[in-house]
Amino acid sequence: MIHQDANLVKNIFEKEKLEQTPTRNGYGLGMVRAGKENPNVVVLCADLTESTRSEYFQKEFPKRFIEMGVAEQNMAVVASGLAAAGKIPFISSYAVFSPGRNFEQIRTTIALNYQPVKIGGAHAGISVGPDGATHQALEDIALMRVLPNMTVLVPADAIETEKATFEAAKTQGPVYIRFARAATPVFTTKDTAFEIGKSYPVFEPKDKDKVDCAIIACGPLVYNAILAAKELEEEGLSIAVINNHTIKPMDEEHVIKAAKKAGAVVTVEEHQINGGMGSAVAEILAINFPVPMEFIGVQNRFGESGEPDELLEKFGMGASSIKEAVKKVIKRK
Amino acid sequence: MIHLHDDKIKFLEETANQIRQDVIEMLVEAKSGHSAGPLGMADIFTALYFHILNHDPKNPMWEERDRLVLSNGHITPVRYAAMARAGYFPIEELKTLRKFGTRLQGHPERLRLPAVETTSGPLGSGLGQASGMALAAKMDNKKWRTYCLLSDGEHDTGNLWESVMFAGKYKLNNLTAIMDRNNIQIDGFTEDIMPLEPLRQKYESFNWHVLEIDGHNFEEIVGACEEAKAIFEKPTMIIAHTIPGKGVDFMERDFKWHGIPPNKEEAKKALHQLRTLDGKIKSEHE
């Protein structure tokens, strides 16, 4: 059942009736909110102003919007310079370009420099769809979480992305925020708690102390994990689902607690299984409380063109694949 | 053309000579590092820290200070030496260059030493950072200027040219860049590795104001930096023609000295040349 304290939408299981909004809209709105609160917030964009929703900020604060042209490396270093002089820059592009193309500039001039630059990675995941493999970032979580000083956020819907973006502006140091192109269900509400570094239970068994498996998910796939958990519950299994939006610094305490209670964990993310959120969970559990794990994500291959749902199904990230992984991991207990 | 008082020129020349000696001593002590670039840029660093920059070594992070971004971080020993001589930190600390626990990292790090402004070493990214600082100063109506020192070799990178376009677009006339045009890079002469010329015309076509100077002539260095302050609507690039290894005859113009330090014997010879002004002074002060 849905966790009572999560304040999610009431009709969460009526997928067709839920508002469908891309998480990138939340990024745009969050930057505007941050800009209203702090005059030092500036936004840079590399020729993708509409599709990254940086245009919301551009319209509100034209003098604080900086068009970089198709120059992601320069966008990173100019942002570092702006930050050195007191600004809080958001840099917007597709995740394959930023942090993909400009990784070294981010590493040296933002992360090692410890500058408060906020990196917005749009069109992350396979759900980018028709654009195909070149534009589907499946490696960005790994690239960013390996950097010291970097905070990494993968919010689950548009409302949570707005909160994450707003909070990122107030966080010291660099932050990476990952969001997606496709419209996905809005299932959190303005009352759903959000704090960087804290993961939240969104689904729990009727008997809280009897859990067969914990699903730890991030991004819009949290919704698929909830759907899978409900179906598994109907089949008689007791499932907990955690919205693990902060990949770094991860809520270790909650992850360990969940593993101890369930004795088996499935991670769910729209990213390569190598080096992503699931890997980070495995690192924590290997040291603290090893349990059998299964990883839902892209299995060491590139994406392709198609509609988001077709691709998620083909690449094994739909609710049915999550259910299979849960059953498999429970057998390994 | 700016005319500096003879006493001023003498003071700057002596200071630059001292800084070159510091560089040799630091490198021989560190047993690794770059020789040619720091020696070639000693006059420009001296002019900046002892005449041009508006700064306060006793209050290094003074908000109104001019920002000096060193893009080619590998020549940092000359900056460290100039900063120490200007009073930022004790001269003795120079001997810790590249050693365990030092603030004087092999390549400069912002969080370790106040007023180095940024972490650098990977080439091609300093001009963009300096542009970001200059743009922020314009947005906030601040009077301080941003100076960026960069190498000729790093003009091979794409990031640098992105920054050149950007600074031209935003008309960053509060940005002065100084290029160390010494014609060498690690693998050889710049025009053999990846031809850069015509550099002046390239910058002019990107909407920069361009000046070319003798990078070892203090009146030309100071004069160019003064002229840059008077330019509206354009950033200024000062192409400073320098001799790599300047002041030590066996290092001058030889790209082999780009990335290596002198050994003890070579350092002794180099220091002797610097202390006697190439034999012109008989009584060497050790």
Q: Do residues B19 and B216 lie in contact, with contact meaning Cβ atoms separated by under 8 Å?
A: no
Residue A322 included in any domain: yes
Domains assigned to chain B: 6-275 (3.40.50.970)
| Final residue belonging to a domain, choices A185, A213, A240 | A185
Same-domain pairing of A149 and A227: no
Question: Is the model's pLDDT at B128 over the cut of 60?
Answer: yes
Same-domain pairing of A52 and A134: yes
What is d(CA A271, CA A296) in angstroms, rounded to the nearest whole number? 9
Which pLDDT does position B137 carry in this prediction? 98
Token pair 């063109």 is found at A305
From first to last of its 333 residues, chain A has per-residue pLDDT tens of 888 889 999 999 999 999 999 999 999 999 999 999 999 999 999 999 999 999 999 999 999 999 999 999 999 999 999 999 999 999 999 999 999 999 999 999 999 999 999 999 999 999 999 999 999 999 999 999 999 999 999 999 999 999 999 999 999 999 999 999 999 999 999 999 999 999 999 999 988 889 999 999 999 999 999 999 999 999 999 999 999 999 999 999 999 999 999 999 999 999 999 999 999 999 999 999 999 999 999 999 999 999 999 999 999 999 999 999 999 999 999
Same-domain pairing of A211 and A160: no
pLDDT in tens, A293-316: 999 999 999 999 999 999 999 999
Token pair 């991991």 is found at A329
Residue A191 included in any domain: no
Determine if residue A219 is left, alpha or beta; phi over 0 gives left, psi from -120 to 50 gives alpha, anything else beta.
Answer: left
Same-domain pairing of A216 and A180: no
pLDDT in tens, A260-275: 999 999 999 999 999 9
- Which residue in chain A has the smallest CA separation from B123? A105
Q: In the numeric block, which tokens belong to residue B36?
A: 């040619």
Number of domains observed in the structure of chain A: 2
CB contact under 8 A, A113 and B111: yes
Question: Is the model's pLDDT at B255 over the cut of 90?
Answer: no
Alpha helices of B100-236 — where are they, by DSSP H?
126-139, 158-169, 190-193, 199-205, 218-229
What is d(CA B57, CA B52) in angstroms, rounded to the nearest whole number? 14
Residue A12 included in any domain: no
What is d(CA A160, CA A199) in angstroms, rounded to the nearest whole number? 12
Q: Which residues of A118-139 are buried (b: 16+ CB within 10 A; e: fewer)?
A: bbbbbbbbbbbbeeeeebbbbb
CB contact under 8 A, B159 and A73: yes
- Please report, for the domain that includes residue A156, its CATH number: 3.40.50.970
Same-domain pairing of A85 and A208: no
Q: Nearest Cβ partner of A80 from B129, B158, B166?
A: B129
Residues of B in CB contact (< 8 Å) with A are: 67, 69, 109-111, 117-122, 124-126, 128-137, 139-140, 142, 158-159, 162-163, 165-166
Q: In the numeric block, which tokens belong to residue A90?
A: 């958001």
Alpha helices of chain B — where are they, by DSSP H?
6-30, 36-40, 42-47, 76-86, 126-139, 158-169, 190-193, 199-205, 218-229, 264-275
Which positions in chain A touch B111 (Cβ < 8 Å)?
A: 113-114
| Final residue belonging to a domain, choices A159, A185, A211 | A185
What is d(CA B184, CA B37) in angstroms, rounded to the nearest whole number? 9
- Please report, for the domain that includes residue A271, its CATH number: 3.40.50.920
Residue A192 included in any domain: no
CB contact under 8 A, A73 and B125: yes
pTM above 0.90, yes or no: yes
| Final residue belonging to a domain, choices A185, A216, A248 | A185
Q: Do residues B132 and A81 lie in contact, with contact meaning Cβ atoms separated by under 8 Å?
A: yes
Same-domain pairing of A33 and A154: yes
pLDDT in tens, B104-125: 999 999 999 999 999 999 999 9
- Nearest by Cα to B118 from B79, B176, B159: B79
Residue A86 included in any domain: yes
Which pLDDT does position B281 carry in this prediction? 67
Which pLDDT does position B2 carry in this prediction? 83
Q: Nearest Cβ partner of B117 from A66, A79, A84?
A: A84
Residue A11 included in any domain: no
Which pLDDT does position B279 carry in this prediction? 67
Which pLDDT does position B93 carry in this prediction? 98
pLDDT in tens, B200-228: 999 999 999 999 999 999 999 999 999 99
Q: In the numeric block, which tokens belong to residue B247?
A: 């002041």
Pick from A78, A108, A114 the residue to mutate for testing the B interface (most B CBs within 10 Å). A78
Task: Identify the domain containing residue A212 by its residue range.
Answer: 197-331
Residue A302 included in any domain: yes
**Which is it for the CA torsion A12, A17, A19, A22, positive or negative?**
positive
Which pLDDT does position B195 carry in this prediction? 98
Which pLDDT does position B258 carry in this prediction? 87
Q: Do residues B21 and B92 lie in contact, with contact meaning Cβ atoms separated by under 8 Å?
A: no
Give first-to-last CA distance, chain B, whole Å. 37
Q: Which residues of A are catalytic?
A: 72
What is d(CA A127, CA A137) in angstroms, rounded to the nearest whole number? 10
Q: In the numeric block, which tokens belong to residue B142?
A: 């601040």
Same-domain pairing of A201 and A277: yes
Same-domain pairing of A114 and A247: no
Which pLDDT does position B259 carry in this prediction? 86
User: Residue A136: CB partners within 8 Å, gap ≥ 6?
Assistant: A96, A123, A125, A126, A128, A302, A303
Same-domain pairing of A167 and A103: yes
Residue A1 included in any domain: no
Same-domain pairing of A120 and A236: no
For chain B, the farthest-separated pair of C-alpha atoms sits apart, in whole angstroms, at 56
- What mean pLDDT is reported for chain B? 95
Same-domain pairing of A122 and A232: no
CB contact under 8 A, A81 and B128: yes
Which pLDDT does position A209 carry in this prediction? 87
Q: Do residues B124 and B159 lie in contact, with contact meaning Cβ atoms separated by under 8 Å?
A: yes
What is d(CA B74, CA B72) in angstroms, rounded to the nearest whole number? 6
* Rounded percentage of chain B residues whose pLDDT exceeds 90: 92
Same-domain pairing of A176 and A279: no
CB contact under 8 A, B67 and A85: yes
Which pLDDT does position B286 carry in this prediction? 46
